[in-house]
Structure 1
Amino acid sequence: MTGEHSSKQYDMDLETIRSKVLLMGGLVESHFHDAMSCFRTGNVEQAEAVILSDLEVNRLEVSLDDMCSHLIVKRQPAANDLRTVVATGKVITDLERIGDESTKIARIARDAHASKHNLAMFSGYETVRVLAHGVADMLHQALDAFARLDQTKAVQLIAQDAIVDNDFRSIMRNLITFMMEDPSTISSSLDALWVAKAIERIGDHAKNIAEHTIYIVEGRDIRHSDYVATKQEQQN
């Protein structure tokens, strides 16, 4: 009976952590959306709100890390259970870093507006708009795959990261061309480049979340492997 009670309590504790992780995920999703919105509009108040709200993301990271540590010490999970806790801790770290990247975008938007470059900034937004929409979808799908422990969705998501990387390189080449042809675009082009890089990094973290999900389900660390290509071949 004691073992059964302990197992139930562990499940309850882990579910509490997972719920808070998904809450944190929803928060960083919202911050990314708001950061891109103020980059488009130059809304300084919205940018300041995104920057300030990163403090809440940081507090959640610290709180959740502490909960994971206490769960390991108190319940001493083994095998699959320990794997789940460790992977969840890594998801928490990736979410916090997504929050950091969204804050970078908000700061760029705020500073560009203060420098009276908001018209040029709007064209910068158009440069990264498609990339931002694709990465926002990746992040949403990554959180959904983690919530459902959906291995198939996680594999599909990881494959999308190559598209994001190619789009980023294309944006970078175009912006370099703009700056070379018209030096007056250097300031706004650099803003767009830093934003594009932040978006690309958010895509990387979304991919990481998908990899952690596969680790929970299969117990396989698929980083730096041909796992996704193999899975795609099997599906075809």
Structure 2
Amino acid sequence: MSERYNLRRFDVDLNLLSSRLLEMGGLVESQIALAMETMNTFDLPLVEQVLEGERRLNEMEIEIDEEVCNIIARRQPAARDLRLLMATSKCITNLERAGDEARKIAKRTCHIAMETNARSINISEIKVSGEMALHILRRALDAFARMDTVAAAQVIKDDEAIDKEFRAFARKLVTYMREDPRTISTGLHYLFIAKAIERIGDHATNIAESVVYVVSGTDVRHVHRDQLGHDASGR
């Protein structure tokens, strides 16, 4: 009876940990959405909301990581359970870093708002890539919640689209700045924002890779995207 109780208690601990991770993920999604909204409105009070949310993310990272360590110390898990705990620790680190990128976007927007030609650059690629990054982060978290390796593999493959939008925007910025040197300051701020969005996509990819690792025991961090279907299945 005691062993059965301990197993149930362990399952409860893991479920609570997963809930905390998803709660943190939801906050990161809100942070990114707010940061993207600041670019549309130049609403500086929204920037303060992003900064306040980022402080809460830092606290959550520490709290969840401590709980992971406590569970490992108490339960001494092995195999998939240990992989799940290690992956959870890595995922919250990626979520915290994605939150950092949202903060960077918001702070760069503050600088852009003070520029006289703030709206002189077409940032359609940034908006598209921002929506993509938010979407694949949401899908990566959903894949983690369901331990769905097929969905996780698709997230990893789809990150390439964000990279393409970043490269396209970088090329366009060079043209803007060559034609009108007055746009250089604003253009550089937008370049940093575009890079921050691209990094959010990378963090979502890292979370998706953790799903494959937990389920199959395969580390796909350096596996070519074309091989993901095979490695995600573990066969």
TM-score range, shorter chain: over 0.9
SS at match of 1:221: coil
Moved more, 91-100 or 215-224: 215-224
Contact 1:149/1:217, CA 8 A, preserved across alignment: yes
Alpha-carbon RMSD across the aligned residues, in angstroms, is 1.9
Alpha-carbon spacing, 1:105–1:158, altered in 2? closer, same or farther (3 Å):
same
- Rounded to whole Å, the distance in 1 between the matches of 2:59 and 2:226 is 34
- Rounded to whole Å, the distance in 2 between the matches of 1:58 and 1:108 is 20
- Rounded to whole Å, the distance in 2 between the matches of 1:228 and 1:24 is 31
Contact 1:127/1:192, CA 8 A, preserved across alignment: no
Q: Name the TM-score, length of structure 2 as normaliser.
A: 0.93
Contact 1:29/1:139, CA 8 A, preserved across alignment: yes
| Aligned positions of 1:64-213 closer than 5 A | 64-120=64-120, 123=121, 125-213=123-211
SS at match of 1:168: helix
- Rounded to whole Å, the distance in 2 between the matches of 1:231 and 1:98 is 26
Q: Which residue identity is paired with 2:140?
A: A
1:125 is displaced (CA, Å) by: 3.8
1:32-84 per-position Cα deviation (integer Å, ceiling 9, x unaligned) = 00001001210000011101210000000000000000000011111111111
| Aligned positions of 1:31-42 closer than 5 A | 31-42=31-42
Q: Which residue identity is paired with 1:53?
A: G
Stretches of structure 1 lacking an aligned partner (at least 5 in a row): none
- Rounded to whole Å, the distance in 2 between the matches of 1:211 and 1:230 is 10
SS at match of 1:119: coil
Q: Which residue identity is paired with 1:112?
A: I
- Rounded to whole Å, the distance in 1 between the matches of 2:49 and 2:116 is 20
1:202 is displaced (CA, Å) by: 0.1
Q: Which residue identity is paired with 1:130?
A: V
Alpha-carbon spacing, 1:156–1:90, altered in 2? closer, same or farther (3 Å):
same
Contact 2:17/2:64, CA 8 A, preserved across alignment: yes
- Rounded to whole Å, the distance in 1 between the matches of 2:22 and 2:52 is 20
Stretches of structure 2 lacking an aligned partner (at least 5 in a row): none
- Hey, what does 1:50 align to over in structure 2? 50
- Hey, what does 1:27 align to over in structure 2? 27
Contact 2:25/2:141, CA 8 A, preserved across alignment: yes
Contact 2:220/2:228, CA 8 A, preserved across alignment: no
Q: Which residue identity is paired with 2:143?
A: A
Q: Which residue identity is paired with 1:67?
A: E
Aligned with 1:219 (options 196, 217, 235):
217
- Rounded to whole Å, the distance in 2 between the matches of 1:228 and 1:18 is 30
Aligned residues between the structures: 233
1:208 is displaced (CA, Å) by: 0.4
Contact 2:39/2:109, CA 8 A, preserved across alignment: yes
